[in-house]
Chain A
Amino acid sequence: MMDCKKYKKGFAAFLYGELEEDERKLLKAHLEMCPQCTGELERLKEVKKGANSLQEDIENAMTSVDWDTLPMQIAENIFKKEAHPAPESWMEKLSRLIFRPRLKPVYAGLLVGIILGSIVTFMVVRTPRSVMVEAGEFFAPRDFLENVELEIARRDTLDYLEKSQYLLLDFVQSPSEEAAEFWRSEFALQKTRDLLSQKKYINSQLNKFQMAKAKAICDQIELLFYELTQISVDLSAEEIRKIQRLIEEKDLLLKIKLLRRELKQSEV
């Protein structure tokens, strides 16, 4: 019974010649001994006969088709579709018009132009420093600039002190009559005015860099010059001697000398 079930599974393959030689022989041997399976196989053969009964219809259908022209019709349909694709919409027409292959070099040129233009614009906008340098300005780090400014202030102060020292030396060392004469001269007047204006200029620098000591001395010098210019016109020999003594008492010249040395030592 178990054998029958196993063999029955091979019936379809047996009917259609799909069984291996060994299996076919085994099945045949079983069929000779088993009338039940033989009956079953006979019934299955009716299926095959039934299927064969459609053969006539198939042959009729096959002969009804013109096989010589069918490939041509099919090819016609396919290649016609390729040659004449579906009608274009206005969008497609427009895009085809814009993106014509003939215009390719134009678009390429435009693209290159845009890229180059962008690069040039970018460089011009991005490098204002180089343009400013050409115009005579100079950009440097903040520390460096501060150092430079400090150095300028120091030198200006030195210059001011030097000039003042010479002027005061002239004044102190000369006899009182000559000194009075000296202050009345146009030369001394001009010099003191120059020094006073220079002092105004270095004031801001001295404040900025907190050079308090230099500031104090310079202020004293300034005050002195200011008074001298104001009163020099009618200055008596006595008064001049007083001023000379004052300068000596305050060791103004010595202070100037020391300050100058100090400023020189701190040279950058």
Chain B
Amino acid sequence: MEQERTSKNEDVYILVEKIKKGDREAFMTVTHLYQKRVFLLAFSFFHNREDALDIVQETFLRFYQKVSLYRKGKNFQNWLLQIAKNLCIDYYRKNYKKGGELRKENPIDDMNLPLQNEPDPHTFSDLKGIFTPCLKKLAEKQRMVFVMKHYNQLHYNEISQILDISLGTVKSLHFKAVQNLRGLMAPYMGRQV
């Protein structure tokens, strides 16, 4: 598994070197290889197809602009997802967050997001209808860790690299995310059951 990943990284490195010289074909190959992963992250974060496609476009544009910064030995997927993650957070803050809510004295991790399209416990009977708004209610870092773990199926150490935080913090954020989701879902689940 480890060997396979290393050889994959080396193949990508060859392509990246070509992209540095302006090779369009190499760029398209890399985009083809990683576009779904970026889309998956963005879609599961926003639950919106258009936003996710915007993030994909922007991520590969940024990748092309910053390609000279990529060094051999770095995990390419993690590096690319780091770009995508930053764009998701920026996009989210710009388009979803109500102004004035994000304050330094209000750490992101401890803050729950404003509830959008709050489900009416009487009308929502399916799990998807309950879960979607609950996920949106999570604080952005918890949401990002949960999405990366559940949908992108990344390991804790990969998430720690992408978010540039310690492994312990990743574990803690994931635990809080799951715990908070359970708490948010509980009232609806109780009525459903």
- Chain A complexes with chain B: yes
B40 touches A62 (CB 8 A): yes
Contact A9 B61 (CB under 8 A): no
Q: Does B91 contact A (CB under 8 A)?
A: no
Which residues of chain B have C-beta atoms less than 8 A from A65's C-beta?
39, 49, 53
Residues of B within 8 A of A46 (CB): 182, 185, 189
Report the separation of the CA atoms of residues A72 and B156 in the bound assembly, to the nearest whole angstrom. 33
Contact B28 A54 (CB under 8 A): no
- Measured CB to CB, the closest approach of chain B to A56, in angstroms, equals 8
A115 interfacial contact with B, CB 8 Å: no
A7–chain B nearest beta-carbon distance, Å? 12
> What's the minimum C-beta distance from B107 to chain A, rounded to whole angstroms?
20
What CA separation (Å) do A225 and B52 show in the bound complex? 125
CA distance A13 to B175 in the complex (A): 7
Shortest A200–chain B CB gap in Å is 92
A58: Cβ under 8 A from any B Cβ = yes
Task: Determine the main DSSP class of B at the interface with A.
Answer: helix
* Contacts A12-B175, A54-B44, A61-B49 given; does A18 touch B128 at CB 8 Å: no
Asked if B174 and A54 make an inter-chain contact with CB atoms under 8 angstroms apart, the answer reads no
Please count how many residues in chain A sit with their CB below 8 Å of the partner chain's CB atoms.
36
- Distance in angstroms between the alpha carbons of A125 and B177 in the assembled complex: 82
Residue of B28, B127, B179, B182 touching A72 (CB-CB under 8 A): B28
Whether, in the assembled complex, A49 has its beta carbon less than 8 Å from a beta carbon of chain B, the answer is: yes
Contact of B47 among A43, A54, A62 (CB under 8 A): A54
Inter-subunit contact B61/A74 (CB<8 Å): yes
- How many A-B contacts if CB must be within 8 Å? 111
B28 close to A58 (CB less than 8 A): no
Name the one of B39, B61, B182, B186 contacting A77, with C-beta atoms under 8 angstroms. Answer: B61
CB-defined contacts of B186 to chain A, threshold 8 Å: 43
Distance of A73 from chain B, by nearest CB (Å): 8
- Complex Cα gap A12–B44 (Å): 19
A179 CA to B35 CA, complexed, in Å: 135
Q: In the bound complex, do residue A18 and residue B182 qualify as a contact, i.e. CB atoms below 8 Å apart?
A: no
A57 in contact with B128 (CB, 8 Å): yes
Are A50 and B44 also in contact (CB < 8 A) when A57-B128, A65-B53 are?
no
Residues of chain B with a CB closer than 8 A to A208's CB: none
- Find out whether the CB atom of B28 lies under 8 angstroms from the CB atom of A44: no
Chain A contacts for B43, CB-based, 8 A: 58, 61-62
Instruction: Tell me if B171 is interfacial: C-beta within 8 Å of chain A.
Output: yes
- Taking A71-B31, A77-B57 as contacts, is the C-beta distance between A50 and B126 under 8 angstroms? no
Which of B4-12, B80-88, B93-101, B130-138 makes up part of the contact surface? B130-138
B47 touches A70 (CB 8 A): no
Task: Report the minimal beta-carbon distance from B23 to chain A, rounded to whole angstroms.
Answer: 10
Q: How far is the CA of A58 from the CA of B147 in the complex (A)?
A: 12
Question: Which of chain B's residues has its CB closest to A68's CB?
Answer: B32
A15→B178 contact, CB < 8 A: yes
- Chain A residues with Cβ below 8 Å from B44 are 54, 58
Q: Which chain B residues border A26 with CB–CB below 8 Å?
A: none
Bound form: Cα–Cα A133–B179 in Å: 100
Which B residues are CB-close (under 8 A) to A56? 128
Q: Which A residues are CB-close (under 8 A) to B52?
A: 61
Distance (Å) between the CB of B187 and the closest chain A CB?
13
Which residues from A are CB-within-8-Å of B40?
A: 58, 62
**A47–B24 CB distance below 8 A:** no
The answer to the question of B151 belonging to the interface, with a C-beta cut-off of 8 Å to chain A, is yes
Report the minimal beta-carbon distance from A214 to chain B, rounded to whole angstroms: 92
Q: Is A12 a contact partner of B150 (Cβ separation < 8 A)?
A: no
Q: Which of A64-116 contact B (CB under 8 A)?
A: 64-65, 67-68, 70-75, 77-79, 82
Q: Could you jot down 16 A-B contacts, CB within 8 Å?
A: A12-B175, A12-B179, A13-B174, A16-B149, A46-B189, A47-B182, A47-B185, A50-B181, A53-B126, A53-B127, A54-B135, A58-B40, A65-B49, A71-B31, A72-B28, A75-B27
